[in-house]
Amino acid sequence: EIVLTQSPGTLSLSPGERATLSCRASQSVSSDWLAWYQQKPGQAPRLLISGASSRATGIPDRFSGSGSVTDFTLTISRLEPEDFAVYYCQQYGSSPVTFGQGTRLEIK
């Protein structure tokens, strides 16, 4: 099983700042099949990025994904108030599918 470790656990930033979230895999993620989701309280997760770097439909271009093999990053270039949420990475290239434990992005 591929274990995904996200860091930091909590990130405190202000609107307008740049956010960098990390996801490290215990083994190589097959074909860079790594996704990022955003989850707000009381809502289902929303897909932001798939294939490590492809933005999902309707996702603003301030969200970008990068990385490969075992080290992946989600960057939010300039934080908007609606971006404060919990972010999860997920690998779906190997079974079992696994999620990271999440990074909480909070307003400073």
Partner 1 sequence: QLQLQESGPGLVKPSETLSLTCSVSGGSISSTKNYWGWIRQPPGKGLEWIGSIYYSGSTDYNPSLQGRLTISLDTSKNQLSLKLSSVTAADTALYNCAGGRYYYASGFVDAFDVWGQGTMVAVSS
* Binding interface with partner 1 (CB under 8 A): 1, 31, 33, 35, 37, 43-47, 50-51, 56-57, 88, 90, 92, 95-102
- What letter represents residue 74's amino acid? L
Q: Which is nearer to partner 1, 1 or 71 (CB)?
A: 1
Residues 6+ apart with CB under 8 A from 1: 96, 98
Judged by beta carbon, residue 14 or residue 96, the one nearer partner 1 is: 96
Beta carbon of residue 70, minimum distance to partner 1 (angstroms, whole number): 18
Least gap, CB of 77 to partner 1 (angstroms) = 22
Beta strands 4-7 and 19-25 are antiparallel
Q: What's the Cα-to-Cα distance from 66 to each of 81, 95, 96, 108, rounded to whole Å?
A: 23, 22, 23, 25
Our CB check for partner 1 shows the closer of 9 and 14 to be 9
Question: Smaller CB distance to partner 1: residue 14 or 95?
Answer: 95
Q: How far is CA 39 from CA 23, 33, 89, in A?
A: 16, 20, 11
Report, in Å, the least distance between residue 96 CB and partner 1. Answer: 5
